[in-house]
């Protein structure tokens, strides 16, 4: 099944099912008012949602509307928790090599993860208001999962079974603010503005073979101001989503609707390009001896879309956003 959330003036928006071709949608208020409502009552509403999904795709449901992704909020406009990892180790290793920093202890065996703000996610076509170009505006293309309840101490296998939905996202960063916050030992706050999401969240079965080993086996195509920036592949993720969820649940239970991010999609092969500017900059420093690429300016636009191996557009839709100066 595919889910999206339409703007209706409420904080959590209006839940709709989206057809497989992403042309039609079906509001299902009689089943769940919002996606967070559906997540909280997943076992109770799953059969009804599946029945409406079948009717939508057969063209025989009452109340079908045209699907307009530009009217979408984030699938979950707010969530109980947003935990973002750095599961593509190539990304971190490049940073260490470029800046000669000591390796993170147990980086290969224990996932690195931070807790971000989850109260104000951005939709796929919303402008992104930020305060200053001097703060190092950067995009970060990622994949993520929305989970059901997870018990404290769950194994990676148990944790992976809790995955309800898969999402595509852009975890905005302000690179000039990050170093100070990391040195404090308290993690990111100001360096991480509101995260943006592609319009459609999908159940893992919608991905077919592109959901395998707890990873999204798809390249993420990234464009900056209309030019190719990279298309790194999600399959190169060093820690699976099962491992990431289990890590987050080591000392606490997780509630339905929590979102776990993969971190910046990053590949060892230089030909894949990058999913964030910071990575391109460190590659320039390593390969060319100097950084040549600046960060985003007001008016710049980023576009992200996961695609299947054969080039077909993926099921998540597109994130296409412009950075603007906050008033």
pLDDT in tens, 3-26: 999 999 999 999 999 999 999 999
> Could you count the other beta carbons within 10 Å of the beta carbon of residue 325?
12
Cβ neighbors of 299 (< 8 A, separation 6 or more) are 322, 323, 324
Give the pLDDT score at 101: 75
pLDDT tens, residue by residue, 86-131: 999 998 898 888 667 788 888 899 999 999 999 999 999 999 999 9
Give the pLDDT score at 87: 97
Query: Is residue 177 scored above 80 in pLDDT?
Result: yes
Residue-wise DSSP of 179-228: HHHHHHTS--STT----EE-S-EE-GGGGGGGEETTEE-SBEEEEETTEE
Rounded-to-integer distance, Cα 157 and Cα 61, Å: 37
Chain mean pLDDT for the chain = 96
Percentage of the chain with pLDDT > 90? 90
pLDDT tens, residue by residue, 182-232: 888 888 989 999 999 999 999 999 999 999 999 999 999 999 999 999 999
pLDDT tens, residue by residue, 247-298: 999 999 999 999 999 999 999 999 999 999 999 999 999 999 999 999 999 9
Q: Between vectors from CA 81 to CA 266 and to CA 203, what angle results, nearest 5°?
A: 65
Q: Could you give all domains of the chain from N- to C-terminal order, each with its CATH number? A: 2-71 (no CATH), 82-325 (3.90.850.10)
Give the pLDDT score at 99: 67
Query: Is residue 81 scored above 70 in pLDDT?
Result: yes
Rounded-to-integer distance, Cα 129 and Cα 194, Å: 10
pLDDT tens, residue by residue, 14-61: 999 999 999 999 999 999 999 999 999 999 999 999 999 999 999 999
């Amino acid at each position: 099944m595919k889910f999206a959330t339409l703007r209706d003036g409420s904080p959590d928006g209006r839940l709709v099912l989206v057809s497989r071709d992403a042309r039609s949608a079906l509001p299902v208020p009689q089943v769940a008012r919002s996606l967070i409502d559906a997540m909280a009552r997943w076992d109770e509403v799953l059969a009804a949602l599946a029945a409406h999904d079948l009717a939508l795709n057969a063209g025989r449901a009452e109340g079908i509307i045209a699907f307009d992704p530009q009217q979408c909020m984030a699938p979950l406009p707010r969530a109980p928790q947003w935990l973002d990892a750095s599961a593509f180790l190539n990304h971190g290793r490049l940073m260490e090599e470029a800046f000669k920093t000591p390796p993170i202890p147990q980086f290969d065996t224990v996932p690195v993860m931070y807790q971000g703000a989850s109260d104000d996610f951005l939709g796929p076509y919303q402008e992104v208001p930020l305060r200053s170009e001097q703060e190092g505006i950067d995009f970060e293309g990622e994949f993520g999962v929305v989970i059901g309840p997870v018990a404290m101490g769950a194994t990676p296998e148990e944790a992976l079974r809790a995955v309800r939905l898969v999402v595509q996202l852009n975890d905005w960063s302000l690179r000039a603010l990050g170093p100070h916050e990391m040195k404090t030992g308290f993690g990111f706050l100001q360096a991480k503005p509101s995260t943006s999401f592609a319009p459609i969240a999908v159940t893992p079965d919608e991905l077919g073979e592109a959901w395998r080993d707890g990873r999204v086996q798809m390249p993420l195509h990234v464009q900056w101001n209309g030019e190719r920036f990279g298309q790194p592949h999600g399959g190169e993720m060093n820690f699976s989503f099962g491992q990431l969820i289990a890590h987050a649940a080591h000392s606490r239970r997780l509630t339905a609707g929590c979102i776990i991010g993969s971190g910046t999609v990053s590949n060892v092969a230089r030909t894949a390009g990058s999913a964030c500017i910071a990575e391109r900059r460190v590659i320039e420093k390593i390969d060319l001896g100097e950084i040549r690429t600046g960060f985003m300016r007001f008016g710049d636009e980023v576009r992200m879309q996961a695609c299947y191996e054969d080039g077909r557009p993926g099921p998540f839709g597109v994130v296409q956003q412009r950075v603007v100066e906050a008033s």
